[in-house]
Structure 1
Amino acid sequence: MDKEVDVLVRRAVTVLAVAALTACGTDESPTPQAAPTSPSPSASAPALPAPAGPSPSASAAPGSTPELPLGGTRIFPTYRVVAYYGTAGTATLGVLGEGTPDKMLPKLRAAAKPFAGGRKVQVAYELIASVAQAGPGRDGDYSQMIPMARIQQYVDQARRNKVLVILDLQPGRGDFLPQARQLERFLVQPHVGLALDPEWRMPQGKVPGRTIGKVGSGEVNRVSDYVAGLVKRHNLPEKLFVLHQFRSSMLPDVARIKKQPGLAMVQHVDGFGTRSEKDATWNRLRRPQQFHLGYKLFYDEDIKRYGAKDLLKFKNVPELISFQ
């Protein structure tokens, strides 16, 4: 680990006050992310009784076709999606958790407005639904789902305010598909998509925060096939299906990830650091021939953080931009 990377890592520990630190390889991205702590950050928030299924108002009226929050059934190229990332009840894992959805939405709209670039801006919440843990937990998978009632709070508020929701999974030693199936009540709603974060998909024997994880194309394809099946079965508009990545090793056989009908499949290039470090990651990883492209901006960890004018000048302008 070179000196500059070490400074960034130490800064992340101080700013985010986490107990574990993501490992940083020497031949890969110089922009690691900080690991969540255990127990789940939502534990401090009061749990509400979980509803039995999706809200009745989530479905389109009889005889009508469900649409996206701002209209239509295709996300790209009509919209540029700008999201706040985080989880409920804590700011440690991202800006979204700094307040309630009602408090954060005006700030998100203001942050998103400059990114239009000739498109309509569609704001989104990227809510971490399952949080990787430093300990094994009751079922030994080093991951914990936040309360379903918390997810319902964001999904319902988003629907009322024409916001997309992206439910993010950090499965620890578990598999992405069983966790995705737990969220079906939300995924059958027209404004809810899914994100997979391979950083927190651990091989057996490895612990989140000590090892940067990975996921193979077979597992990704099983999850995307499941979500695409929901879209077809429920006649839903196109859904975001997001893959986070800041190292090539996180998606080792990325070329074998299949496109799926009904899904806007996004390769989301993450990682914090200087502009030159982020440029190196972006240039090395992006696959515009295979995916729509996403990009993450870090409020605290980025050095000379890119602004909207900068990103709109990129070769392959990102179509999904998130703030952490």
Structure 2
Amino acid sequence: MRRSKLGLPALGLWSVVLLAGCSSDAGKNETGGVQAAPHPETVQAPDTTKAPVDSAKTATVAPKADSSAATAPAATKFVVRDEAAQKPGAILPHKRIIAYYGNPLSKRMGVLGEYAPSKMLSKLDEEVKAWNAADPNTPAQPALHVIVVTAQGSPGKGGKYRLRMSDHVADSVISWAARRNAIVFLDIQIGQSTVQEEIPRLEKWLKLPQVHLGIDPEFAMKNGAIPGRRVGTLDAAEINYATSFLNEMAVKYNLPPKILVIHRFTQRMVTNYKNIQLRPNVQFVMHMDGWGDRVLKKSTYNDYIKKEFVQYTGFKLFYHNDTKKPGWKLYSPEGILALNPKPLYIQYQ
């Protein structure tokens, strides 16, 4: 079957000064396909912080004949090895995480920053209610997933093609989450940096019981590659550093199990997945990223998440880009629940 591209928004990898933005050409997808149109951005940011670039996702998928309303596939056994699941405070698989993603300095990077905090939290409440209605046996756990290290199209200070947000960004999102008893994910796009360099500086937040970690391999660049010009990659060895760090955090601070979310929408984004080490105090989510029609999103999920199953799975929804073409519709909770395995981490951008 001929492969087809799942369309993506512009990566928006440009430098943005306070309260104004200027765009450059958007990056191509990893196979040199069509470029998405760049768009400018206006950012409300404190004087000490630059605004982040937009992050976008590309996926290569094979269309399938079914739709989101299709019945679940024939039963497949997915054995979840999770010593952490029985520990006090473990979230998975007892709850399904419903997360809002983005950065409060950007209206273009996701719903978390698109609206004022009170309105954003009200919208999250609606999604939590919908998921509780769709699957009353798995309570919905609200979450805010904030990008605290953003990939950049220029070297920036330190020459690592990444911008670290000020502490105010993480502190603000954590305070918003407290209003809903929500958990928080700190997401990193490391550019030409490393997980070993970026993760330890997050310890002051990761030592909090409600704060967890996300890593986006799309922006983990190797061999001098520049974010936005190709899709990045993470190896199991790098992921194992992250799970080891989180496991040590849980032990050191006597915390409930930590959760690690890894974004994925191509096979090359994660290499040697069979070597990913599961830890007794960490719960691992391989998260299906990328936007497009429901048929293509389901194909991506089957090709890169289901076929290379690790522990728990996630599924991403884009309010704008999943509905941008005629006939495209946002996946409903019921449609996602028809997938096998059923995702336990749902992210809205």
TM superposition score category, shorter chain reference: 0.7 to 0.9
- Structure 1 residue 200 and structure 2 residue 219: aligned? yes
Corresponding residue for 1:79?
Answer: 95
2:243 is aligned, of 224, 240, 243, to 224
Compute the displacement of 1:93 (Å): 0.9
Compute the displacement of 1:112 (Å). Answer: 2.4
Q: Percent identity?
A: 30
Mark the CA change 1:281 to 1:111 in structure 2 (over 3 Å): closer, same or farther: same
Evaluate the alpha carbon distance shift between residue 76 and residue 42 of structure 1 in structure 2; reply closer, same or farther with a 3 A threshold.
farther
Question: Structure 2 vs 1, CA of residues 99 and 307 (structure 1 numbering), >3 Å: closer, same or farther?
Answer: same
Cα distance in structure 2, aligned partners of 1:133 and 1:73? 36
Task: Provide the rounded CA distance (Å) in 2 between the counterparts of 1:111 and 1:200.
Answer: 28
Q: Distance in 1 between matches of 2:334 and 2:240?
A: 35
1:21 aligns with 2:26: yes
Partner deviation per Cα, 1:30-87 (whole Å, 9 max, x = no partner): 99999999xxx897411589xxxxxxxxxxxxxxxxxxxxx95111121110001101
Query: Does the 8 Å CA contact 1:31/1:277 hold for their aligned counterparts?
Result: no
Residue 311 of structure 1: which of 321, 336, 348 is its match?
336
Using the TM superposition, give the Cα deviation of residue 114 of structure 1 relative to its aligned residue in structure 2, in angstroms. Answer: 1.6
Q: What secondary structure, in the 3-state scheme, does the structure 2 residue paired with 1:13 have?
A: coil
Gap change, CA 1:3 and 1:254, over 3 Å in 2: closer
In 1, Cα distance between equivalents of 2:192 and 2:336: 35
| Deviation sequence 1:277-308 (CA, Å, 0-9, x none) | 11211111124752200000011111322111
Q: TM-score, structure 2 length as denominator?
A: 0.76
CA distance in 2: counterparts of 1:296 and 1:102, whole angstroms:
23
Alignment-derived partner of residue 199 in structure 2: 180
Instruction: Tell me the residue number matched to 1:321.
Output: 346
Distance 1:279 1:141 in 2: 34
Q: How does 1:114-153 map to 2 (within 5 A)?
A: 114-116=130-132, 117=135, 118-153=137-172
2:188 to 160, 163, 169: 169
Seen in structure 2, the aligned counterparts of structure 1 residues 259 and 249 have a Cα distance that, compared at 3 Å, is: same
Please tell me the residue identity of whatever aligns with 1:46: P
CA distance in 2, matches of 1:25, 1:45: 31
Partner Cα separation in structure 2 for residue 290 and residue 4 of structure 1: 26
**CA shift for structure 1 position 149:** 1.3
1:254-293 Cα shifts (integer Å, max 9, x gaps): 1111101211100001111122211211111124752200
Give the structure 2 partner of residue 300 of structure 1. 320
Q: Which runs of 5+ in 1 are unaligned?
A: 50-70
Q: Is the 8 A contact 2:11 2:228 kept in 1?
A: no
Q: Which residue does the alignment assign to 2:55?
A: none
| RMSD of Structure 2 on Structure 1 (CA) | 3.1
Q: Matched residues in 1 for 2:286 and 2:34: separation? A: 17
- The amino acid that maps onto 2:317 is L
Q: Secondary structure at the match of 2:10?
A: helix
In structure 2, the partner of 1:291 is 311
Distance in structure 1 (CA, Å) of the matches to 2:110 and 2:272 = 29
Task: Summarize the Cα distance change of 1:258–1:14 in structure 2 as closer, same or farther, 3 Å threshold.
Answer: closer
2:257 to 233, 238, 250: 238
Aligned-pair distance for 1:236?
0.5
Relative to its length, the structure with more helix (as a share) is 1
1:3-152 to structure 2, matched below 5 A, reads 5=5, 8-9=7-8, 12-13=9-10, 19-26=24-31, 44-46=44-46, 72-116=88-132, 117=135, 118-152=137-171
Mapped contact 1:31–1:272 kept (Cα < 8 A) = no
How far apart are the structure 1 equivalents of 2:302 and 2:342? 12
Q: Describe the SS at the equivalent of 1:154.
A: helix
Partner Cα separation in structure 1 for residue 176 and residue 312 of structure 2: 27
* Distance (Å, rounded) in 1 between the aligned partners of 2:43 and 2:271: 34
Displacement after TM superposition at 1:24 (Å): 2.7
SS at match of 2:199: helix
CA distance in structure 2 between the aligned counterparts of 1:31 and 1:258, rounded to whole angstroms: 36
Asked if the contact 2:10/2:39 (under 8 Å) is kept, the reply is: no
CA contact (8 A) 1:246 1:269 kept: yes
1:83-118 Cα offsets, whole Å, 9 max, x none, are: 011012211111111134333111111122222312
Distance 1:263 1:42 in 2: 38
The answer for unaligned runs of 5 or more in structure 2 is 14-21, 50-86, 323-327
Q: 2:222, 2:11 → 1: CA distance? A: 28
Show CA shifts across 1:161-189 (max 9, x none).
31110000001000022211111110000
